């Protein structure tokens, strides 16, 4: 049976989507068609959303599931008239929170992912540009400003992790690719040696690495299982020799790698 | 009064944080100390979390607020014994969802931000590398593969937006900076002209742009309000002349810019 899941929001829809993905991941056997309806900010737009939801209910022959982060009381009342299972975040949690805190909430729409202040924006933009400028060992002279320096072999997930840490947490991240040349005597490159306490290593399963590299250069030595295996063995020997904390990224998403690195290094985020 | 907010999760904590930020943004007058407790996956770890929460309750002299995405029933029972306001996502929404869908959920921990499949991972990594390779007009010969090409003046938010669209939605993004040279006759650079339907413009308030640029090159002509104003006027004339859809990014967060661009261009995300 076809089911539609709606993510309904007066803002970006990111909270509703995150919430919904999290809940739906518990129902692996059901396939959902997912529709995000962001920036629903008026009675009129809420009624349009309700019409779309009711249409899906009719077409599917089954109630859609609606994850809603609408804040406005009138809009929520309109929404609750539709033919769907409504999981209403503010409906469920706002009242107990108000009671505990002893204040009424602002009921202002589109607060969640609105720009908080110029300072946070600045930190974030600077972090992103720092990550770009210090990607892939391009520059090493600003490592004194880095919060963390990720190391690992080519295509093991360093770059996306650095960008995620920059965008999400405002951290100043650098990354440096270790290559065959570095493995000869297991000596750390000088630029890294000077900032050893900032280093964090990634490793990955050799077959997985080979598959990822093959996409880029199929049939090359670079992508061969043998080469990948050799590099990864040397890499882990290097981590162990220098007591560098590291993580196997094979089965992990970018979010998981990032949050684990944060926890393992005890890093304090610059953005909440 | 000091209040502590805990984000408690058996996974990365991202869902709990997103949910919590969204709720707390409704209470602007209260300052929260925010603590994320990720990867809580055993009875033992849950009890440790409860101890931390109770300690905060004592120190603050006020109940902490706990946003929990714990899935395991035993862990949730342990959690509910603590001295705090517990906002329990799965407690509130899982049962109605199970009833509507007519199946029991898996109650598997750490599903939400776990790697879904190798294919999604691949799309995401490729999107990130595409964004990097096609940042800041560095290369224009792969624009045929781009889903969208963001244009605008220097430091108007193109790069972070491209990276966010790549990481979050798996979109292939490029961006191209328009400079004074391009404004002489309001003619679009050839590389852009050929992909006009993929263009999306950003603009920004001149004072804001001047402040951002001043951080990079204080006192320069580049950062002067006059120069910024001149560039932005010409830019908007260019957007209008060529019928390029655009957005004023001044008051918007990266998430808002990204989701609005997605909606305005009618782009289909490659990742859910």
Question: Mind listing the pLDDT tens digit of every residue in chain A (272 residues)?
Answer: 679 999 999 999 999 999 999 899 888 888 899 999 999 999 999 999 999 999 999 999 999 999 999 999 999 999 999 999 999 999 999 989 999 999 888 877 767 666 656 788 889 989 999 999 999 998 999 999 999 999 999 989 999 999 999 999 999 999 999 998 899 888 999 999 999 999 999 999 999 999 989 988 999 999 999 999 999 999 999 999 999 999 999 989 899 999 999 999 999 888 87
Instruction: Find the mean pLDDT for residues B90-94.
Output: 92
Is A259 an interface residue toward B (CB < 8 Å)?
yes
> Is the pLDDT higher at A93 or at B116?
A93
The distance between the two most distant Cα atoms of chain A, rounded to a whole number of Å, is: 70
From the list A12, A121, A263, the residue facing B38 with the nearest CB is A263
| Residue A51 near residue A84, CB atoms below 8 Å | no
User: CA-to-CA distance for B62 and B83, rounded, in angstroms?
Assistant: 9
Give one word for B91, left, alpha or beta, with left for phi > 0 and alpha for psi -120 to 50. alpha
Is A256 an interface residue toward B (CB < 8 Å)?
yes
What is residue A119's predicted lDDT score, i.e. its pLDDT?
80
Buried b (16+ CB within 10 A) or exposed e, B71-103: bbeebbebbeebebbbbbbbbebbeebeebbee
User: CA-to-CA distance for B169 and A34, rounded, in angstroms?
Assistant: 13
What is residue A270's predicted lDDT score, i.e. its pLDDT?
87
Q: Is B73 annotated as a binding residue?
A: no
> Is the pLDDT higher at B250 or at B108?
B250
From the list B114, B255, B272, the residue facing A253 with the nearest CB is B114
User: Percentage of chain A surpassing pLDDT 70?
Assistant: 97
The answer to whether B211 contacts A118, with C-beta atoms less than 8 Å apart, is yes
Min Cα separation A66/chain B (Å): 10
Q: Is B159 annotated as a binding residue?
A: yes
User: Percentage of chain B surpassing pLDDT 90?
Assistant: 78
The answer to whether A115 contacts B251, with C-beta atoms less than 8 Å apart, is yes
What is residue B114's predicted lDDT score, i.e. its pLDDT?
64
What is the interface pTM, i.e. ipTM, of the complex? Answer: 0.85
At B29, the pLDDT band (50, 70, 90 cuts) reads confident
| Residue A234 near residue A142, CB atoms below 8 Å | no
For chain B, domain boundaries: 3-101, 118-265
DSSP string, A76-142: HHHHTTSSSEEEEHHHHHHHHHHHHHTS-----SS-TTS---HHHHHHHHHHHHHHHHTGGGS--TT
Min Cα separation B185/chain A (Å): 31
Q: Which fold has domain A3-101?
A: Rossmann fold (3.40.50)
What is residue A107's predicted lDDT score, i.e. its pLDDT?
78
Q: Which fold has domain B118-265?
A: Rossmann fold (3.40.50)
Is A94 an interface residue toward B (CB < 8 Å)?
yes
- Mean of the per-residue pLDDT values for chain B? 92
Q: A174 forms bridges with which residues in the sheet?
A: A149
Instruction: Find the mean pLDDT for residues B22-36.
Output: 90
What is residue A272's predicted lDDT score, i.e. its pLDDT?
75
Residues of B in contact with A65 (CB under 8 A): 97, 100-101
Is B152 an interface residue toward A (CB < 8 Å)?
no
Same fold, B3-101 and B118-265: yes
Residues of A in contact with B113 (CB under 8 A): 253, 255-256
Report the binding-site residues of A for ADP: 152-159
Report the binding-site residues of A: 152-159
| Residue B42 near residue B48, CB atoms below 8 Å | no
B115 pLDDT exceeds 90?
A: no
The answer to whether B26 contacts A111, with C-beta atoms less than 8 Å apart, is yes
Q: What count of other Cβ atoms lies within 10 Å of the Cβ of residue A30?
A: 14
B55 pLDDT exceeds 70?
A: yes
The answer to whether B101 contacts A3, with C-beta atoms less than 8 Å apart, is yes
At B119, the pLDDT band (50, 70, 90 cuts) reads confident
User: CA-to-CA distance for B198 and B12, rounded, in angstroms?
Assistant: 35
| Residue B201 near residue B239, CB atoms below 8 Å | yes
What is residue A53's predicted lDDT score, i.e. its pLDDT?
98
What is residue B184's predicted lDDT score, i.e. its pLDDT?
86
User: CA-to-CA distance for B228 and B126, rounded, in angstroms?
Assistant: 34
What is residue A73's predicted lDDT score, i.e. its pLDDT?
92
| Residue A258 near residue A171, CB atoms below 8 Å | no
The answer to whether A135 contacts B132, with C-beta atoms less than 8 Å apart, is yes
The answer to whether A85 contacts B105, with C-beta atoms less than 8 Å apart, is no
The answer to whether B164 contacts A159, with C-beta atoms less than 8 Å apart, is no
Lowest mean pLDDT among A75-89, A111-125, B45-59, B193-207: A111-125
Is B55 an interface residue toward A (CB < 8 Å)?
no
| Residue A33 near residue A3, CB atoms below 8 Å | yes
């Amino acid at each position: 049976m076809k089911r539609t899941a709606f993510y309904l929001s007066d803002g970006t829809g990111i909270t509703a989507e995150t919430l919904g993905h999290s809940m739906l991941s518990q129902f692996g056997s059901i396939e959902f068609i997912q529709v995000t309806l962001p920036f629903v900010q008026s009675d009129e737009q809420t009624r349009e959303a309700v019409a779309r939801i009711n249409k899906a209910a009719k077409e599917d022959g089954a109630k859609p599931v609606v994850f809603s982060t609408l804040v406005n009381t009138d809009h929520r009342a309109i929404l609750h008239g539709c033919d769907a299972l409504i999981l209403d975040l503010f409906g469920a949690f706002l009242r107990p929170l108000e009671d505990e805190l002893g204040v009424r909430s602002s009921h202002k729409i589109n607060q969640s992912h609105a720009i908080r202040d110029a300072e946070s924006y600045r930190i974030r933009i600077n972090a992103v540009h720092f990550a770009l400028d210090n990607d892939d060992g391009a520059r090493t002279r600003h490592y004194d400003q880095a919060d963390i320096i990720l190391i690992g072999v080519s295509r093991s997930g360093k770059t996306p992790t650095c960008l995620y840490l920059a965008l999400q947490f405002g951290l100043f991240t650098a990354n440096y690719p270790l290559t065959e040349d570095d493995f000869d005597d297991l000596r750390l490159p000088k630029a890294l040696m000077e900032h050893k306490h900032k280093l964090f290593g990634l490793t990955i399963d050799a077959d997985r690495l080979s598959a990822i590299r093959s996409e880029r250069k199929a049939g090359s030595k670079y992508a061969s299982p043998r080469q990948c295996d050799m590099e990864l063995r040397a890499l882990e020997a290097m981590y162990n020799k220098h007591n560098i904390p590291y993580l196997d990224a094979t089965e992990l998403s970018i979010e998981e790698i990032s949050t684990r690195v944060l926890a393992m290094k005890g890093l304090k985020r610059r953005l909440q």
